[in-house]
Amino acid sequence: MGSLVSRCVLATAIVCALATAWSARSLGRSSATERRGGMHVTRIYAGPDGETHVEESEVKLGATDALGMQQSELIKADSATFVRFPANFHEDWHRAHARRYVITLTGRGEIEVSDGQKAVLEPGRVAWVEDLTGKGHVSRALTSDWTAVFVQLQ
């Protein structure tokens, strides 16, 4: 029973976080064509050069179903954690602890990668952090109210 409850809580956390990010992202869009595109994800990864890089990628969405919904392919997750960062949060150079989505709910944070680029994480932004090797990145809070959901991927 405990395993079933924890799986339900995980599924609920993931759905709530992605729905929040999706709706916040969509609010700023003006045309129907833009709303029908895929979801944009900021990918943080280690390249073959040993440097950590940032790139914008898109999660493809399938055809619209009878309810008007579009879905991506299934993404398997191990766990989800809600996080509130202190106003002065700063984690110096480190690699990702695990492959995860970082979905900002409130406030703003920032990831600086070893090639000098910075990715601002704000509501509506989903970061796919997977720099398990290489030089890593710096994480910092830009506001006192930065909260996020970490979704550990399998």
Q: Tell me the pTM.
A: 0.75
- Sheet containing strand 77-84, strands side by side: 52-59, 39-46, 126-129, 100-106, 147-153, 77-84
Identify the weakest region by mean pLDDT among 26-30, 41-45, 113-117.
26-30
HSE-up of 125 (CA within 13 Å, CB side)? 22
pLDDT bin (cut points 50, 70, 90) of residue 79 is very high
What mean pLDDT do residues 122-142 have?
96
Specify whether domain 2-153 bears CATH 3.30.70.360. no
Could you please report the per-residue DSSP string of 71-88? ------EEEEEEEE--TT
For 21-31, write each residue's pLDDT tens digit: 444 444 444 33
9 vs 58, higher pLDDT: 58
Domain boundaries, the chain: 2-153
Tell me the C-alpha distance between 64 and 74, whole Å: 16
